[in-house]
Chain A
Amino acid sequence: MTGDVRRLRRTLLHLVLAVIAALYLSPLVYMVVTSFKTREAAGSTEPRWVPDPVTLDAYREILGSADSPALRWFLNSLAAATGHAVLVLVTATPAAYALARLRFRGRNLLFGTIVATLFVPPVVLLIPNFLIVNELAWVDSLPAVIVPAAAGAFGVFFLRQFFITLPGELEEAAELDGGNRWQIFTAIALPLARPALVTLFLLSFLTNWNDFLWPLYVLLSPESLTLPAGLGNFQSANSVRYDLLMAGAVIASAPVIVLYLVAQRWVIEGISRSGLKG
């Protein structure tokens, strides 16, 4: 291939990729632009990519009004996503470590059972988990959106794959020094597992922050909703207040976009590789 042809092909490739990229981002750009428009401008039939005048009215209204306490929703979502991600790490990490590094009676059966639930369609859990959460008197409260999803097998499965690859020599040396299992786990295995733990924390946080169906049905009163559930209800009631809806969408996107910008490689690598190693 001559240099000219190669350069032409490269330019063409960039052109195609850049056009797709622009189409990809434009809905999000328009979301942000509209959130700074007045109510009238947001409902105008003539699309404008620069808000004139620029106003914070939409944010003021959706954050302040009684039927859309978006600030409260934001804090609920933050508490739920953080609590969920912490719970996943605290419960899945020692279990994954034991399943990967310790030999004990029933281990294979246990791991087999856990992996088997990866193949259970989650829809069969919806109704019974609602009934269980109701028995626990968690309906309409944060534990309902923090705890049940932490039973999923993904975290254990994901971390076990990681612990299995750790070299055994370090643990053996620590054992000779008289360390017990817990000390070896916390002092040797956990520091080595840091990248996997960070990835699992991020994925758990993102999943919980974005979860829509479950909080929509298990949270009821306006002040206990998470952002997705609150925004979903708000849209049903105000489907043409696009200024408010876009402001709400920006508030719901901001934390995950920031997380994504900071930890982009961990998020992408974690998601693109996690399903494949099995």
Chain B
Amino acid sequence: MSGPPARVEDPSGAASPGGSPRTAGRMRSWTPYAFCAPYLVLFAVFMVLPIGFGFWTSLHEWDINLPAKPFVGLENYTDLFDPGSVDGSRFWSAMRATGIFTVFSVPLLILLPLLVALLMNGRFRGRNLYRAVYFTPYVLGVVVVGVVWQFLLDGNIGLVNHYLGLDVQWTTDVPAAWVALVGVTVWWTLGLNAVIFLAGLQDIPRELHEAAMVDGASAWDRFRAVTLPGLRPVMLFVVNTTILASANMFGQSYLITRGAPADQTKTAIYLIAETGLRQFDMGTASAMSFILAAFLMVASGLVFGAFRDRRKA
């Protein structure tokens, strides 16, 4: 490739007038591309290619085991949008499960970690220890979380029923299963959002709080006038990533409820994986994944829009 001679980025801006000509000849023009090449191979094969290939697949009746993969146009999509079809009814039931889980988990996964972060936002002995403890479940994989909680939630011998004095079938009845799935997820990921909020809280200048105190603002006033506005970028990030994470829920449902009862807690990702990678109906599964992706991108767009509007106001 014969581009202009590559040169070193001048980090100090205008410090050396006329750019840095002495470095111009030293670096060969292909050097930066060589630095990027190993990553770009991976990026091309496992990121760029699959995005197009996935959409191509969704336009076919694609079974990995069958030589014929007839082109069907948008039939996989129209089939999914027909609630009367088998695939359509299964898909929207799974989308409903994903929606229920997202709607009930996200508010808790914002409010409780924020509360914990506010409690920890001060200088006191043992703070780092608490932070480390609350974060611990998050470093465990979903398989450990699922296996342990399936045991604790066991309707007959589980600790949860024992200590609460209940007789609830957490893993096979709704709405109890939703309570269990949301509760387990809060336990698992509260620490993550809490440490992110805590980092954001500590970036808010102390002077702002002190100035508000001098003005006689109450704790609640200061929270609304100083803390929340100061947290806005962090809040945007947390709300967005939490919605995406909840909408991608798979392991908890796979391990704890197995989609029971009657596939009511089988999430969209769960159905896509089963359809594409167990039944090898990859055309339908790809179409499902693009519809889900569209929902996720719209959700992200709404979140960004909501945060931008408030700034203007």
What separation, in Å, do the CA atoms of A21 and B8 have in the docked complex?
Answer: 51
Stretch at the interface among B77-85, B88-96, B100-108, B146-154: B146-154
Q: How far is the CA of A118 from the CA of B162 in the complex (A)?
A: 44
A179–B134 CA distance with the chains assembled, in angstroms: 48
**Interface readout for A222-257 with B: 1 if CB under 8 Å, 0 if not?**
000001100110011001001001101100110011
* A216, chain B: closest CB distance, angstroms: 8
Question: Is A171 on the interface with B (CB-CB < 8 A)?
Answer: yes
Q: A86 an interface residue at 8 Å Cβ cutoff?
A: no
Among residues 175 to 200 in chain A, which have CB atoms less than 8 Å away from a CB atom of chain B? 175-176, 180-182, 185
Kindly list chain B residues whose C-beta atoms are within 8 Å of the C-beta of A94.
35-36, 38-39
Q: CB-CB < 8 A to B120: which residues of A?
A: 17
> Cβ of B296: which chain A residues have Cβ within 8 Å of it?
121, 123
Q: Contact partner of A102 among B8, B50, B237, B251, CB < 8 A?
A: B8
Cross-interface CB contact of A213 among B46, B196, B250, cutoff 8 Å: B250
Q: Which residues of B contact A276 (CB under 8 A)?
A: 196, 199-200, 233-234, 237
Identify which of A17, A25, A228 gathers the most chain B CB atoms within 10 Å of its CB: A17
Q: Are A45's CB and B156's CB within 8 A? A: yes
Give 5 pairs: A residue, B residue, CB < 8 Å, sorted on A.
A102-B32, A119-B297, A127-B276, A128-B286, A257-B136
Chain B: which residue is nearest A149 at the CB level?
A: B46
Q: Which positions in B face A, CB cutoff 8 Å?
A: 1, 3-4, 6-12, 20, 22-23, 26-27, 29, 31-33, 35-36, 38-40, 42-43, 45-51, 53-55, 57, 64, 116, 119-120, 124, 126, 130-137, 139-144, 146-152, 154, 156-157, 159, 162, 187, 192, 195-196, 198-200, 233-234, 237, 241, 244, 248, 250-251, 254-255, 258, 268-269, 272-273, 276-278, 282, 285-286, 289-290, 292-293, 296-297, 300
Residues of A within 8 A of B32 (CB): 98, 102-104, 107
CB of B141 within 8 A of CB of A228, answer: yes
Q: Assess whether B10 is in contact with A147, with CB atoms less than 8 Å apart.
A: no
Interface status of A31 (Cβ within 8 A of chain B): yes
A114 contacts the other chain (CB 8 A): yes
**A residues apposed to B, CB below 8 Å:** 10, 13-14, 16-17, 20-21, 24-25, 27-28, 30-31, 34, 43-45, 47, 90-92, 94-95, 97-107, 110, 113-114, 117, 119-132, 134, 147-153, 156, 166-168, 171-172, 175-176, 180-182, 185, 206, 209-213, 216-218, 227-228, 231-232, 235-236, 239, 242, 245-246, 248-249, 252-253, 256-257, 259-260, 264, 267-268, 271-273, 275-276
Smallest CB-CB separation from A175: which chain B residue? B23
Q: Are B27 and A272 in contact (CB under 8 A)?
A: no
Given A30-B159, A206-B139, A271-B195, the answer on whether A264 and B132 have CB atoms closer than 8 Å is yes
| Among B38, B192, B300, contact of A119 (Cβ-Cβ < 8 Å) | B300
A134:B119 contact, CB within 8 angstroms = no
B150 and A239 within 8 A (CB) = yes
* Bound CA span A14–B119, Å: 9
A180 to B130, CA, bound (A): 48
Whether the pair B50, A128 counts as a contact (CB closer than 8 A) is yes
* Contact (Cβ within 8 A) B119 A127: no
Residues of B close to A123: CB separation below 8 A: 248, 268-269, 272, 289, 292-293, 296
